[in-house]
Amino acid sequence: MQSFARRIVSDTRFERTIIALIVFNGLLVGLETSYTVVERFGTVIAWAHHLVLAAFIAEAALKITAVAPHWRRYFGDGWNLFDFSIVVLSLMPFTGELSMLARLVRLLRVLRLLSALPKLRLVVATLVHALPGMGHVVLLVMLLFYVYAVAGWHLFHGHDAERWGTLGDALLTLFQVATLEGWAEVMRDAMQVQPFAWVYFISFVVIGTFVMINLFVAVVINSLEETKASARSDTGEAEGRAALEEDLRVAREALARIEAQLERARAR
């Protein structure tokens, strides 16, 4: 049974089937947003959800059986835990007022694409790995916003109290400027009082938008390279472990054949 489960799990067709089911589940969740479709095909969609859930349960059972009794190989993997948690949540009987949670859990199944596609796993791992480095960039951005907000309050609050009347208003105005949404209009209004206000705004746009975005990109790219290197290292270790297990299996089979030959020789 275990060898059968291993063959199924390691087959690329099995992986593609799971990906197809995840996409199909996503389509079902989208169809449920149409009252007309639900009214006409609600029963069919409900049965389709049950079949998809049954397939996900079978997938989890096969993967757990394939690594038995070394359960840590399955539950020690964060992505497997993510998939298993979604399956467990899907089995919970959400009824009545909690029926909305059942629909949200079905939507969570779409996120299983993150674990099913290696490239998406790499992207998520990169973003998570980049969070500590981004913290320093975020701190720098906050400092920049604070300095420019206080300076903007001193320069413009007497003329435009709606945008610069308080420190909070100034921060919101700078956030709008950072998004490049209507920032030229804000600058023109400020230049009616301070002709050199363009220096303030252009310097903030250059530093606060372009430079900071490049810093975030640099942190993510650096994290991506580190994550790729770590993934290659883990892959090499996994391949070495798999090769060792295969050698042990061959050795056991050879010992079993020798023992069988010895038993036949004794019988004679």
| Structural domains of the chain ordered from first start | 2-116 (1.20.120.350), 121-256 (1.10.287.70)
Q: What is the mean pLDDT of the chain?
A: 81
**Residue 121: CA count within 13 A, CB half-sphere:** 14
Query: Would you state the structure tokens that stand for residue 15, as one six-digit string?
Result: 């992986």
Peptide bond into 69 cis (omega under 30): yes
Alpha carbon distance 170, 186 (integer Å): 11
> Model's pTM, two decimal places?
0.60
Nearest to 86 by CA among 117, 108, 58: 108
Q: What is the pLDDT of residue 237?
A: 54
User: What parts of the chain have a pLDDT lower than 70?
Assistant: 94-99, 231-252, 254-255, 258-259, 261-262, 264-268
* pLDDT computed for residue 235 by the predictor: 54
